[in-house]
Structure 1
Amino acid sequence: MGRIETVLFDLDGTLLRYERSPGEVLRASLDRVGTDPLFSVEDYYDRFDEFARRCDSMAELRSECFAALAAENGHDAALGRAVATAFDAERDQSNVELYPRAREVLETIHQQYAVGIVTNGARDAQRRKIDAVGLERWTDTIVIAGQDVPPKPAPEPFERALDALDAIPETAVHVGDSLESDVRGAADAGLHSVWVSGGDTDADGPTPTYRIETIGTLLPAPWNRSDS
């Protein structure tokens, strides 16, 4: 492996998390509307990228996605939209926090490498999260994929970040928690990868270049370790 000069990071589930999980917010939203569950939070996750590609805001994304999921499960689409409105009221996109030691990791990595963020999602929501934790102080470029560029695992978001950093794939690594979006996407774009496994030992999918349990264990960088 050649010298690493550029480090890209995923956002959600890698660097930061909501202070309340999406499942908790969905349950609170259903309670607000006074209805039984219309779909699972996993159903929402599965359809997120599909709606992100054609919606301009998080509010529109949720409204269209929740309406479709409700209708597909035999409920009135309007009820799904009502749950989406309640979800928007419950979910504050700025109510996020960095994972333990993520600040230390970012400060250290940014002193040694060009750093970028490559994340899927609605632009308005992702920007609020980024601003809430002040990520721009440690990053040189940010690519929010899903609208004007296809979402990960498509190679285009990685290529756009590398172009902005005047970097090449062979000397770049992407760090993320998803085997499909992050590891496969990085590989298809020619980058090395670090999978943040969260302790998962049985996941099926593409093989990352490196594997760590949490973002806090990225230091020392695995590509610099003698045992790697």
Structure 2
Amino acid sequence: HYFDSARMGAFTFFPGVKEMLTDLRKHYKLVVITNGPIFSQHPKLKATQMDEWVDHVIVGGEEPEEKPAASIFQKALNLVDIKPEEALHIGDSLAADIAGANNMGILSVWVNATGASNPTEITPNFEIRETVELKEILKTLAQ
């Protein structure tokens, strides 16, 4: 149990993210889509108290399909009653997040924390190093 509690204690937000989520929720509906089995995802979500920061959480292990499947993105859109062209999906996986969003006609933001080159043909609409850079993208889109 010590290992599990120590491991869960390591799950936290990057600096500035909680403040950003608080600000974003004043203007937008926020949905988290996370791939993975229930037994590993639920403890992570609980450790970060994710349900306090977003409107909905979708765990891939509870759904018929995970990202990049269209069905899981459609579920997120339905939960907040918006069309694909009204949404923005932020993620760190080119194959799951960016390809899935692109295939749905949802604007995509690749969080490339390491600054690695993109070895795929999957092209995000935007690329950032840190999640807090999202504010600038939203300002641009609002114009």
Bucket of the pairwise TM-score, normalised by the shorter protein: 0.7 to 0.9
Alignment of 1:58-207 (within 5 A): 90-92=3-5, 94-95=8-9, 96-205=11-120, 206-207=122-123
CA deviation string 1:14-63 (max 9, x = no partner) = xxxxxxxxxxxxxxxxxxxxxxxxxxxxxxxxxxxxxxxxxxxxxxxxxx
Rounded Cα–Cα distance in structure 1 between residues aligned with 2:41 and 2:62 = 12
Runs of 4+ residues deviating >6 angstroms: none
Whole-angstrom CA distance in 1 between matches of 2:108 and 2:30: 14
Q: What's the TM-score once normalised by structure 2's chain length?
A: 0.86
Query: What amino acid does structure 2 have at the position aligned with 1:159?
Result: Q
Identity of aligned residues (%): 29
Q: Corresponding residue for 1:213?
A: 129
Letter in 2 for 1:102: V
State the alpha-carbon separation in 1 of the partners of residues 55 and 26 from structure 2: 11
Q: What one-letter code is carried by the residue in structure 2 that aligns with 1:181?
A: A
Secondary structure of the residue aligned to 1:216 is helix
| TM-score w.r.t. length of structure 1 | 0.56
Which structure has the larger Rg over C-alpha atoms? 1
Bigger RCO (CA 8 Å, 6+ sep): 1
- Cα RMSD between the aligned structures? 2.1
Question: Residues of 2 paired with 1:124 and 1:136: CA distance?
Answer: 17
CA distance in 1, matches of 2:74, 2:56: 12
Q: How many residues align?
A: 139
